[in-house]
Amino acid sequence: MPEDLINSFMTGPDEKGRFGQFGGRFVSETLMPLILELERQYEIAKTDPTFWAEMDFLWKHYVGRPSPLYFAERLTDHLGGAKVYMKRDELNHTGAHKINNVLGQIILARRMGKKRIIAETGAGQHGVATATVCAKFGLQCVVYMGAHDVERQAPNVFRMRLLGAEVIPVTSGRGTLKDAMNDALRDWVTNVRDTFYCIGTVAGPHPYPAMVRDFQSIIGKETRDQMHEAEGRLPDTVIAAIGGGSNAMGLFYPFLDDKSVRIIGVEAGGKGVDDRMEHCASLTGGRPGVLHGNRTYLLQDDDGQILEGYSISAGLDYPGIGPEHSWLHDIGRAEYVSITDREALEAFQLSCALEGIIPALEPSHALAHVMKIAPGLPKDHLIVMNMCGRGDKDIFTVAKHLGFDMKV
Amino acid sequence: MTRIDRTFARLKAKGRKAFVAYVMAGDPDYDTSMQIVLGLPGAGVDVIELGIPFTDPMADGPTIQLAGQRALASGQTLEKTLQIVRDLRAVDEDTPVVLMGYYNPISSRGVEAFLRDAVAAGVDGLIIVDLPPEEDDELCIPAQKAGLNFIRLATPTTDDARLPKVMQNTSGFVYYVSITGITGAAAAEAADVGPEVARIKAATDLPVIVGFGIRTPEAARAIAEVADGAVVGSAIVSEIAAGKPVDEVLAFVRGLAGGAHAA
């Protein structure tokens, strides 16, 4: 790894929006002027103390930040090795990390005078967060959601509608998250003047990957401070689940230059990372390509056609990954592993039984990897896993897999 | 000089407007698509735009999306799309062919290999929707070095400050997208398009062809009157989607070409 050749891992992206070869601005000409304008406005906001003052106020009073860093004592005893901490982002308003980013983008949209907000959503968490903040600010909200996901995530669809959002079921392509993103981009191309596209993860054209990372970095910043308070030092390992990768990027980013901190991203291995492609592990099972405005690792066939991923967790069900993760993977600063549905379900149940925390299926993947490595690590080794969402939305899926009849 | 340059020079000498037709390669299947492409020059098409099917066509409306899905379902690949061009070239040395699509299938094959194969097949130009001038190093510059035209889209959001950047590495012709929106959406009024074409022409000497939303010979004529030509895609693809026989599809194309050429 050329690690000693790089002074800092935190300087990206470059002026072309690249992290090494990844990222960029692969969009149609209609959107290009909008993306350049967004970049300009974000650069101004980023260095404006009043912007961050508004964010800090709402993070505290509306979202409930800082989220606790919680020592999972019984889980630690059970695993018999490293000391396991959970970053409790599932306690945020709306139940996941998604709102950290949505707040930032909506405040920016308001500064830009945009009145109409569009978003894509998979499991519905980003859609709910966007609908929530739009309700708070009285903005029009349109959420694109794959028709398949609308069916299997009915409670979130109803939440969004209660919050005043229009949910548009996407039937183009195969009606999944990537198709929802395509349709959101089509909406944006059509409604360029008044519309702000609020992307839910660290993907899309520059400046989205960097901007979403910056907003989610509150997770890692708080973790640093809280770990110093709890243990007087840095953690040894930080672990997070990855679909697009925004909760992971948010946890990882403030630690990138701390060489002693081991960084592990956990992809959705579905039914196993092999030729059947029944997984969503872009890094461990894909290759670089261009989709949704950026170059990154993608699940694709030999002819460059995008493949559908599969995971028990709808929130990880995306054939790409944020470009900064692709770069961290290639230069070796972060490790990426995969966890199967079965392993995630075991972790889900263990968290319920030992800690009284019902996790979302996404962080259950991260927890499953903690269960693999913690027993082999010394007792003074500090692990932080990002508990990025709560499991309320997933109990139906889990019940089905455990053979429990919810209709009773 | 490419076939595109020669075609526009010839049209200009005759005082004629260009008619550009788009079809999706392999839609609904290879053989039908091949027959349609072979019939386009005889139907009055001056430039053929051949769509490269892609799973995620983010700038296209439902008509072109479904055409791509039909083509992919029938086994169309980038190699087979190049084969359509090779087969056309066996009988037609003059009609320019522009491949239009998205970057990933090309990037997946490898830019160098793709350009070599495209030139050998007889391709004349490329329109790659998700490659703005900011990404010119990816394909635009290598394509021009390989002797292909790289045709850029200009849009209503391309303001005067940005136009020179968009025109800088453009060749062959400029494709003016007359609306902000996706393919197959509502049409712009010719009265609104005229001043926009004049704005683009002030920034380039290339021919300016206008597309998006043109569905009838009358609309093709009205647009061609205020530009150097008209492009029709979704309306033709809709005929193919309806399962019309090849000769009916070509008769429809002939009508549109007649409209554009009457301008």
Sequence spans of domains, chain B: 3-261
Residue given tokens 């509150």 in the structure block: A218
Respond yes or no on whether the N-terminal peptide bond of residue A207 is cis (omega within 30° of 0).
Answer: yes
Neighbours of A350 (CB within 10 A): 20
Look up residue A39 and give its two tokens.
């970049």
Instruction: Count CA atoms within 13 Å of residue A319 on its CB side.
Output: 30
CB contact under 8 A, B58 and A292: yes
ipTM computed for the complex: 0.96
Rounded Cα–Cα distance for residues A159 and A305 (Å): 34
Rounded Cα–Cα distance for residues A119 and A111 (Å): 18
Rounded Cα–Cα distance for residues B189 and B174 (Å): 19
Smallest Cβ–Cβ distance between B107 and the set A191, A192, A304 belongs to A304
Rounded Cα–Cα distance for residues B208 and B38 (Å): 25
Gyration radius from chain B CA atoms: 17
Residue A4's pLDDT is what? 56
Which of B27, B49, B228, B239 is catalytic? The answer is B49
For residue A124, give Cα distances in angstroms to A200, A247, A261, B81. Answer: 10, 15, 32, 38
Give the closest-approach CA distance of B102 to chain A in angstroms. 9
Rounded Cα–Cα distance for residues A327 and A44 (Å): 26
> Which residues of chain A are within 8 Å of residue B181 when distances are taken between CB atoms?
30, 189-190
Smallest Cβ–Cβ distance between B180 and the set A173, A190, A292 belongs to A190
Residue A208's pLDDT is what? 98
> Which residues of chain B are within 8 Å of residue A293 when distances are taken between CB atoms?
130
Element spanning A269, H or E? strand A262-270
CB contact under 8 A, A306 and B104: yes
Look up residue A107 and give its two tokens.
């405040």
Is residue B225 within 8 Å of B189, Cβ to Cβ? no
CB contact under 8 A, B181 and A190: yes
Give the closest-approach CA distance of B185 to chain A in angstroms. 9
Residue given tokens 């606790």 in the structure block: A68
Check if B49 is active-site.
yes
CB contact under 8 A, B55 and A173: yes
Tell me, what DSSP letter sits at residue A61?
I
DSSP B183-238: TTSPPPPHHHHHHHHHHHHTT-SS-EEEESS--SHHHHHHHHHTSSEEEE-HHHHH
Is residue B177 within 8 Å of A30, Cβ to Cβ? yes
**C-alpha torsion B135→B136→B137→B139, nearest 10:** 100
CA nearest neighbour of B175 among B107, B120, B231: B231
CA nearest neighbour of B130 among A205, A304, A178, A212: A205
For residue B183, give Cα distances in angstroms to B46, B58, B106, B204. Answer: 21, 10, 21, 24
Smallest Cβ–Cβ distance between B158 and the set A33, A186, A298 belongs to A33
> Which residues of chain B are within 8 Å of residue A299 when distances are taken between CB atoms?
none
Can you tell me whether residue B150 is helix, strand or coil? strand
Give the closest-approach CA distance of A326 to chain B in angstroms. 17
Instruction: Count CA atoms within 13 Å of residue B185 on its CB side.
Output: 17
Give the closest-approach CA distance of B1 to chain A in angstroms. 26
Element spanning B47, H or E? strand B47-51
Smallest Cβ–Cβ distance between A29 and the set B56, B72, B166 belongs to B166
Give the closest-approach CA distance of B104 to chain A in angstroms. 5
Residue B258's pLDDT is what? 98
Rounded Cα–Cα distance for residues B107 and A326 (Å): 17
CB contact under 8 A, B105 and A305: yes
Residue given tokens 């839609």 in the structure block: B27
Element spanning A167, H or E? strand A166-170
Chain A CB within 8 Å of residue B164 CB: no
Look up residue A30 and give its two tokens.
């209609």
Rounded Cα–Cα distance for residues A101 and A202 (Å): 10
Is residue A297 within 8 Å of A286, Cβ to Cβ? yes
Residue A26's pLDDT is what? 98
Rounded Cα–Cα distance for residues A18 and A24 (Å): 5
> Least CA distance to B78: which residue of chain A?
A303
Query: Order of strands, edge to edge, in the sheet holding B97-101?
Result: B149-150, B125-128, B97-101, B47-51, B18-24, B229-232, B208-211, B174-177, B152-154
Chain A CB within 8 Å of residue B113 CB: no
CA nearest neighbour of A197 among A213, A183, A216, A176: A183
CB contact under 8 A, B152 and A304: no
- The helix-helix angle for B62-73 and B234-241 (nearest 10°) equals 50
> Least CA distance to A188: which residue of chain B?
B181
Q: Kindly give the pairing relationship between strand A195-197 and strand A116-121.
A: parallel
CB contact under 8 A, B134 and A25: yes
Rounded Cα–Cα distance for residues A271 and A344 (Å): 11
Instruction: Count CA atoms within 13 Å of residue A27 on its CB side.
Output: 27
DSSP A309-323: P--SSGGG--S---H
Chain A CB within 8 Å of residue B114 CB: no
Rounded Cα–Cα distance for residues B61 and B79 (Å): 25
CB contact under 8 A, A172 and B62: yes
What's the pLDDT tens digit per position in A251-282? Answer: 999 999 999 999 999 999 999 888 777 888 99
> Which residues of chain B are within 8 Å of residue A27 when distances are taken between CB atoms?
130, 132
> Which residues of chain B are within 8 Å of residue A185 when distances are taken between CB atoms?
58-59
Smallest Cβ–Cβ distance between A305 and the set B72, B162, B180 belongs to B72
Mean pLDDT in consecutive groups of 10 residues from the start of chain B, 263 residues:
96 97 98 98 98 96 96 98 98 98 98 98 98 98 98 94 96 94 84 94 97 94 97 97 98 98 96
> Least CA distance to A296: which residue of chain B?
B104
Is residue B19 within 8 Å of B261, Cβ to Cβ? yes
> Which residues of chain A are within 8 Å of residue B60 when distances are taken between CB atoms?
186
- Write the CB contacts of A244 (distance below 8 Å, at least 6 apart in sequence): A200, A201, A202, A203, A318, A320, A321, A322
Residue A1's pLDDT is what? 46
CATH fold, domain B3-261, is TIM Barrel (3.20.20)
Is residue A234 within 8 Å of A225, Cβ to Cβ? no
Tell me, what DSSP letter sits at residue A60?
I
Respond yes or no on whether the N-terminal peptide bond of residue A13 is cis (omega within 30° of 0).
Answer: yes
Q: Which of A16, A26, A300 to mutate to test the interface with B (most CBs of B within 10 A)?
A: A26
Can you tell me whether residue A153 is helix, strand or coil? coil
Show which of residues 172-201 on chain B sit within 8 Å of chain A, judged by CB atoms.
Answer: 177, 180-182, 185
Phi, psi of A140 (to 5 degrees): -70, 135
Which of B27, B60, B136, B228 is catalytic? The answer is B60
In a structure prediction context, what are the per-residue pLDDT tens digits for chain A, which is 408 residues long? 455 556 899 999 999 999 999 999 999 999 999 999 999 999 999 999 999 999 999 999 999 999 999 999 999 999 999 999 999 999 999 999 999 999 999 999 999 999 999 999 998 999 999 999 999 999 999 999 999 889 878 889 999 999 999 999 999 888 889 999 999 999 999 999 999 999 999 999 999 999 999 999 999 999 999 999 999 999 999 999 999 999 999 999 999 999 999 999 999 999 988 877 788 899 989 999 999 999 999 999 999 999 988 888 887 889 999 999 999 999 999 999 999 999 999 999 999 999 999 999 999 999 999 999 999 999 999 999 999 999 998 998 899 999 988 765
Beta strands in A284-389 (DSSP E): 287-291, 293-298, 335-340, 382-386
Phi, psi of A269 (to 5 degrees): -85, -5
Smallest Cβ–Cβ distance between B129 and the set A28, A173, A192 belongs to A28
Check if B5 is active-site.
no
Q: What does the angle CA A227 – CA A232 – CA A235 come to, to the nearest 5 degrees?
A: 45
CB contact under 8 A, B107 and A289: yes
